[in-house]
């Protein structure tokens, strides 16, 4: 399609040019959509599934951002902005603070279905957008954008980026039926949707803001630690206080490795899923390893490729 080759203007926005998607690109969407739709029932949190239905996301093909924006706007005042790929942090935060979600337009290639280095339209739309219909989560993302603009000025972006990574991208939520997924990086990954709930290896720890801000993460593999919230209001409440004193407080403390546990951690047990498409089934996804599909900061990607 031609949209990705357009010259982005200063805010990095481009036209989606929906009419230019090829049949092959829509077919890749259909493949990813149908696979993930089967997996997510019983794994994704109910709020995500509700948003999924309300948006009318379907297996037909890549959706038109204009149509999705109308539905979102009517529900929570959010709209989508098409961008060519990762955008600088200040641009990203400014969009979120204005209830604008920057979404990529391109879709991964058929030979790269599970090994994507950067978020694509499937990750952004099927992973992120459904929860923007939930009022508490919609408020959280806006507050996060406002917090990001402040963190840039304070020089603490690394710590704030960890909050986004471990909540928006790779968060789990506790429900009466067990742990469920709300993180977009997981929801758009067939392998990690299974791994995060079923595999005995990763840590699942109760959400603690300071703990999250101190925890490093990997962008080249499934996560080694997931943080579990009780509800979305908890996330919004966590972003209400001024982070400046918290940044100063944890600046004196060491970072925590992605797989490490500390004495104050409240660890939760996995809740193995008994779906016929779950672990060990012939036609279901196995614990294939691949890069994490979350939104990576440009700086993280550059560092990773320079290693
Ligand atoms: Fe993302």
pTM above 0.85, yes or no: yes
Residue 15 has pLDDT above 80, yes or no: yes
Question: What CA–CA distance (Å, rounded) separates 53 from 78?
Answer: 17
Active site residue 128: yes
From 188, 189, 193, 292, active-site residue: 188
Q: What does the pLDDT look like over 158-185, one tens digit per residue?
A: 999 999 999 999 999 999 999 999 999 9
123 CA distance to ligand 1 middle (Å)? 6
β-pair type (172-175, 178-181): antiparallel
Q: How many of the other CB atoms lie within 10 Å of CB of 7?
A: 6
- For 37-51, what is the mean pLDDT? 92
Residue 304 has pLDDT above 80, yes or no: no
pLDDT band for 125, please (50, 70, 90 cuts): very high
124 CA distance to ligand 1 middle (Å)? 6
Active site residue 10: no
pLDDT band for 307, please (50, 70, 90 cuts): very low
From 169, 192, 193, 292, active-site residue: 169
Q: What does the pLDDT look like over 220-272, one tens digit per residue?
A: 889 999 999 999 999 989 888 889 999 999 999 999 999 999 999 999 987 66
119 CA distance to ligand 1 middle (Å)? 6
**More reliable by pLDDT, 167 or 113:** 167
User: In this prediction, what percent of the chain has a pLDDT beyond 70?
Assistant: 84
Active site residue 188: yes
From 13, 25, 103, 128, active-site residue: 128
36 CA distance to ligand 1 middle (Å)? 16
293 CA distance to ligand 1 middle (Å)? 7
Q: Taking all residues of the chain, what is their mean pLDDT, rounded to a whole number?
A: 87
- For 95-118, what is the mean pLDDT? 89
Q: What is the reported pLDDT for 2?
A: 40
Residue 113 has pLDDT above 90, yes or no: no
Q: What φ, ψ does residue 182 adopt, rounded to 5°?
A: -130, -10
Q: Which of 190, 194, 183 lies closest to 227, judged by CA? A: 183
256 CA distance to ligand 1 middle (Å)? 23
Residue 280 has pLDDT above 60, yes or no: no
Residue 279 has pLDDT above 50, yes or no: no
118 CA distance to ligand 1 middle (Å)? 9
pLDDT band for 69, please (50, 70, 90 cuts): very high
**Burial of 155 from C-beta contacts in 10 A (0-12 / 13-18 / 19+):** exposed
User: In this prediction, what percent of the chain has a pLDDT beyond 90?
Assistant: 68
Beta strand segments in the chain, E = 79-83, 100-104, 172-175, 178-181, 203-206, 225-229
């Amino acid at each position: 399609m031609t949209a990705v080759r357009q010259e982005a203007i200063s805010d990095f926005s481009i036209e989606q040019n929906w009419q230019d998607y090829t049949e092959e690109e829509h077919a890749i969407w259909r493949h990813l959509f149908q696979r993930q739709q089967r997996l997510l029932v019983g794994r994704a949190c109910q709020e995500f599934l509700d948003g999924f239905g309300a948006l009318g996301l379907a297996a037909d093909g890549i959706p038109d951002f204009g149509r999705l924006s109308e539905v979102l706007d009517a529900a929570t005042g959010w709209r989508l902005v098409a961008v060519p790929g990762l955008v600088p942090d200040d641009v990203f935060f400014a969009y979120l603070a204005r209830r604008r979600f920057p979404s990529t337009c391109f879709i991964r290639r058929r030979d790269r279905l599970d090994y994507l280095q950067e978020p694509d339209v499937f990750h952004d739309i099927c992973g992120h957008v459904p929860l923007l219909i939930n009022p508490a989560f919609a408020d959280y993302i806006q507050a996060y954008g406002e917090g990001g603009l402040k963190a840039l000025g304070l020089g603490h972006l690394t710590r704030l980026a960890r909050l986004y990574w471990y909540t928006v991208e790779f968060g789990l939520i506790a429900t009466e039926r067990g742990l469920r997924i709300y993180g977009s990086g997981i929801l758009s990954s067939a392998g990690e949707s299974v791994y995060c709930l079923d595999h005995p290896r990763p840590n699942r720890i109760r959400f603690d803001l300071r703990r999250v801000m101190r925890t490093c993460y990997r962008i080249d593999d499934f996560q080694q630690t997931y943080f579990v919230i009780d509800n979305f209001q908890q996330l919004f409440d966590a972003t209400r206080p001024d982070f400046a004193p918290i940044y100063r407080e944890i600046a004196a403390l060491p970072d925590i490795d992605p797989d490490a546990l500390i004495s104050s951690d409240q660890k939760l047990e996995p809740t193995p899923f008994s779906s016929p498409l779950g672990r060990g089934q012939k036609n279901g996804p196995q614990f294939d390893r691949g890069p994490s599909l979350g939104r990576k900061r440009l700086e993280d990607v550059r560092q990773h490729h320079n290693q």
